Structure 1
Amino acid sequence: MSREFARRIAFTIGALLLFRLGTQIPIAGLNISTYSPMLDFIGRLSVFALGLIPYLTAAIFVRLLSVVWRGLSSLERSGEAGRRKIARVTLGLTLCLAAFQAYGIASTLATIPGLVRNPDGWFVMTATTSMVGGVFVLVWLSEQITRHGIGNGLALILSVGFIVAIPRDVAGIVGLLESGALSGNLVLAHAMFWVLLVAVMVLVEGACRNIRVEFGALDTGRRQLPAREAVLPIKLNSAGFLIPVTVAPWIFFLPLALAGLVMGADHPLVAAAYRHLQLGQPAHLILVSIAVFVLAFIYTAYVIDPEYTAKSLAQRNGIVSGVAPGEATAAYLDRVVSLTTVVGAVYLTALQVIPGVFDLYGIGLPYSMVVNGGAALVVVCTALDIKAQVRDVSLTNPGGVRR
């Protein structure tokens, strides 16, 4: 193990321990010792209570805006200066979202009798500031992990948050098994299902369609690059998980919220719509499945823009083997990406609807972590990313010769 590799591992472990330490620091002013009825809930109200959700929401919103706004998309591809501008916009939106969420939580806490020592405006202000500051500390910490550690900082912090919940969930399931409230066969079936699903995730996330590309000789100043061959990999799941799954519920819940404001939340039509769109209801499963499937195609088209890719290949004197450059290459790439995305979209849709299907047929377990395909996918992708980075640091070349 090289010294640089060891340093990166130590830095990552230290940063994650710092993250876990922050989750144990409660918001100042809470009367935790004497307020036992909500002890489990209060235990989550640390300075990191908001986690990375405001930042991820802001990043997803900016990314979606770049899909429909060509100017923002061009800015992102213009170089480091453009990416810095987008990062500043994302942080500004994060501040607004975090302040709104933190103020709502602090105001609600102040109304619970006996929970806050001095439920006045000063508590609301300090609690709001603490939680907003916690968000930006986590954003900074995730960037440091990405830069100086191993793996993607955002994904690692999210994964650790999921993983630390597993022992509590398993202990709860064991308790229900001992009391006879759960069937041992059901728990065994869930365990076998998730082992199989994790294997499928590893297979799909590592699978890609390789397109052979030929580059002609290219003059670069005084040097001439010889003709060479390469491959253009297109992943089965190029859309990832967060954007399709996070945005899908907005498509029908935002219009429903507007209808509630206009018509009133107690209007029969609005109340019926909310009732049928609850998690586990058939209407919810159908609409979310359609939305995730469509969003996977939309976002993949942004990530792999066939026209942009064809233009980049032409600028580097490259052609897809057997395909004419220009519009023919763009059309060919569009066809390949569309066919490949069908598999990825079905895969993402299945992961999203797993909890709802379990609940619909009454075969779910009462712990969201156990039946959450998204959490499992984040952990699996993080592990695969760490594996790839460790291999890159440990090996000098693809042939596997160690340093």
Structure 2
Amino acid sequence: MLSTLKNAWKIPDLRKRILFTLMMLVVFRLGANIPVPFIDKKVIAEMFEGGGGGILGFIDLMAGGAFKQMTIFALNIYPYITASIIMQLLTIAIPRLEALAREGEEGRKKIAQYTRYGTVIFALIQAIGISVGLFRNAIIHQSGLSMATVVIVLTAGTAFLMWLGEQITEYGIGNGISLIIFTGIVSRVPAGIMQVFGLYKTGNVSIIEILLFLIIATIIIAGVVAIQEGQRRIPVQYAKRVVGRKMYGGQNTHIPLKVLMAGVIPVIFSTSLLAFPQTLVFFFDGKFAEVVSKYFSPNGNPGVWIYSILNILLIIFFTYFYTAIQFNPVEYANNLKQYGGFIPGIRPGKPTADYLNRVLSRITLVGALALALIASIPTLIFSFTNLNIGFGGTALLIVVGVALETMKQIESQMMMRHYKGFLK
């Protein structure tokens, strides 16, 4: 890996992209330390002391500490993720949006524009909920101007993060939105290590529990790499054809169907949706809050089981959903038929599409189940131990998955320039 980065640094274009990505991430971390005006941090700190081990702590982990500090990036990029989920679902349900998605680059730009509008709307709603509901007592001056300022600053912060992520995707290396989440999680690692050390000194955590966490982390890293790199190679042959005086075709190749085409996107989507009902707990008191905390929170009983089951089902659903968006068996089969390619033993056209769809469904199920188990098992284990540091299976999975995807993008850029990298 170090050799790959060293070789990438020698390429001027890649060096510019890496530097641009790093600078944008530095801007993100700087913004994550700029406080929102009219906010009393002492009140927020007291709220985290009372419920920081639950959803507040998890949201703060994903936001890189910006939520607890109530900075301009407190909402992080999750309104954008929510808008993306809804827009992708609507693309299937609404014929007009489905037609836009098939129009190529111009259609995708239009859908991206709708997603931006949705991001601003969801950020505005969430900012209003935080100012009027969750952190109302933390606002120093209870006036319309103060609340409007907080709402506008939080909404603008999310809109700026969305723009920042798009700039990284276009001019940098890797997926900008995923890298922002990655940076937020990684920035909390030193605090997590100090917290574990403090728990060990006070006797709340044993050395066995720390070793258990390290073993689980190693298994997660190995598991993510295995399913990300795993693929099913379907052999393809091209018929020989004569064009003029030259003969074309007659080659043997393969279709590399990845076990997990969706990467860690299903985990990010699932986490965003499951965080929504838990967030409502802090807006409403009484019976509703008790029901949600007991049955839909990873800290409740039987909530931890219900949360894990829902997490597994959502990850499986989004894995299939995102894979269907990325790979169309019918279109692939038609392209094979057009260029004289065929799968041995399978007739071109519809039989080939059915075969690809059948194989893809089976290997996607394996990848989805593996991804769901890797994300859920640590949650169950940590719920029965004192090792409550927040940096659990989901966070580790996102970090490893995003790092691997980014390295693969660097690798592909280097292969275009005939460099030998580290991913063989």
Tell me if both proteins adopt one fold, taking TM over 0.5 as the criterion.
yes
Within the candidate set 406, 409, 412, 1:389 is matched to: 409
1:52 aligns with 2:93: no
- Give the superposition deviation at 1:135: 1.1
Deviation, 1:192, is 1.6
Give 1:105 shift: 1.4
RMSD over aligned CA atoms reads 3.5
Of structures 1 and 2, the one scoring higher in RCO (CA 8 A, sep 6+) is 2
Question: In the alignment, which residue of structure 1 is the partner of 2:104?
Answer: 79
Deviation at 1:212, TM superposition (A): 2.4
- How far did 1:389 drift? 2.7
Corresponding residue for residue 154 of structure 2: 131
SS for the counterpart of 2:224 is: helix
Asked if structure 2 preserves the Cα contact closer than 8 Å seen for 1:358 and 1:364, the reply is no
Query: Do the aligned residues in 2 keep the contact of 1:217 with 1:224 (CA within 8 Å)?
Result: no
Identity %: 29
Q: Following the alignment from structure 1 to structure 2, what is the Cα–Cα distance between the partners of residues 292 and 180?
A: 36
Match of residue 34 from structure 2: 25
Aligned length: 386
Residues of 1 paired with 2:74 and 2:273: CA distance? 23
User: What displacement does 1:122 show?
Assistant: 0.8
Letter in 1 for 2:29: R
The residue correspondences of 1:105-116 to structure 2 (distance < 5 A) are 105-108=130-133, 111-112=136-137, 115-116=138-139
Aligned-residue offset at 1:34: 10
Q: Which amino acid aligns with 1:354?
A: I
Partners in 2 of 1:78 and 1:225 — Cα distance?
Answer: 35
Question: 2: CA distance between counterparts of 1:126 and 1:273?
Answer: 31
CA displacement, residues 288-307 of structure 1 (integer Å, 9 cap, x when unaligned): 43443345334434433322
1:98 to 2:141 alignment:
no
Choose which of 231, 240, 248 in structure 2 pairs with 1:226: 248
1:199-210 aligned at under 5 Å gives the runs 199-210=222-233
Measure, in 2, the Cα distance between the counterparts of 1:346 and 1:358.
18
Q: Give the Cα separation in 1 of the matches to 2:115 and 2:182.
A: 22
What amino acid is the match of 1:331? D
Pick aligned residue for 1:365 from 342, 367, 387: 387
- Asked if residue 121 in structure 1 is aligned to residue 140 in structure 2, the reply is no
Corresponding residue to 1:16 among 15, 21, 25? 25
Q: State the alpha-carbon separation in 1 of the partners of residues 228 and 309 from structure 2.
A: 25
Q: Deviations over 1:320-379 (max 9, x none)?
A: 23321111101111221122112112112202322442155x13621221x2x2322222
* Aligned equivalents of 2:125, 2:242: Cα separation in 1: 55
Amino acid at match of 1:201: V
Deviation of 1:78 (Å) = 1.8
SS of the residue corresponding to residue 118 of structure 1 reads: coil
Shift of 1:58: 0.5
Name the residue aligned to 2:61.
Answer: none
* Matching of residue 379 in structure 1 with residue 404 in structure 2: no
Q: Look up the SS of the partner of 1:278 in the other structure.
A: coil
Task: Write the distance in 1 (CA, Å) between the matches of 2:272 and 2:140.
Answer: 38
Task: Give me the TM-score of the superposition, normalised by structure 2.
Answer: 0.79
From the superposition, tell whether residues 118 and 110 of structure 1 become closer, same or farther in structure 2 (CA, over 3 Å). farther
Task: Report how far residue 64 of structure 1 moved.
Answer: 2.2
* Partner SS state of residue 27, structure 2: helix
Contact 1:277 1:283 survives alignment (8 Å):
yes
Of the candidates 27, 41, 64, which is equivalent to residue 89 of structure 2? 64
Secondary structure at 1:78's aligned position in 2?
coil
Return the alpha-carbon distance in structure 2 between the equivalents of residues 57 and 194 of structure 1: 28
Selected match of 2:345 from 297, 322, 331? 322
Tell me how far apart the structure 1 counterparts of residues 334 and 41 of structure 2 sit (CA, whole Å): 61
Check 1:32–1:342 CA distance in 2 against 1; reply closer, same or farther (3 A cut): closer
Report the CA distance shift for 1:249/1:271 in structure 2 as closer, same or farther (over 3 A). farther
Structure 2 CA distance, aligned partners of 1:28 and 1:219?
73
SS in 2 for 1:239: coil
Conservation of the 8 A alpha-carbon contact between 1:289 and 1:349: yes
Q: Verify the 8 A CA contact 1:109 1:116 in the aligned structure 2.
A: no
Counterpart of 1:278? 297
CA deviations 1:209-247 (Å, max 9, x no partner) are 122233457999x99993244432211112333346635
- SS in structure 2 opposite 1:231? strand
For 1:281, what is the secondary structure of its paired residue?
helix
SS in 2 for 1:212: strand
Cα pair distance change 1:224/1:203, threshold 3 Å: farther
**Structure 1: gaps (5+ residues):** none
2-structure distance, mates of 1:272, 1:108: 19
1:154 and 2:177 correspond: yes
In structure 2, give the amino acid aligned to 1:50.
L
Where do 5+ consecutive residues of structure 2 fail to align?
1-9, 49-64
Give the match for residue 195 of structure 2.
172
Q: Does the 8 Å CA contact 2:220/2:374 hold for their aligned counterparts? A: no
Change (3 A) 1:331 1:109: closer
1:344-355 matched pairs, under 5 angstroms: 344-355=367-378
**Which residue of structure 2 aligns with residue 182 of structure 1?**
205
AA aligned opposite 2:404 = L
Q: For each residue in 1:234-261, what CA deviation from the matched residue of structure 2 results, as whole angstroms up to 9, or x when unmatched?
A: 111123333466358969x98xx9xxx9
Distance 1:181 1:274 in 2: 24
Equivalent residue letter for 2:348: P
CA distance 1:61–1:304, change in 2 (3 Å): same
Alignment of 1:292 with 2:315, yes or no, is yes
Q: Distance in 2 between matches of 1:309 and 1:50?
A: 40
Retained in 1: the 8 A contact 2:17–2:172? yes
Would the aligned equivalents of 1:15 and 1:141 in 2 still touch at CA under 8 Å? yes
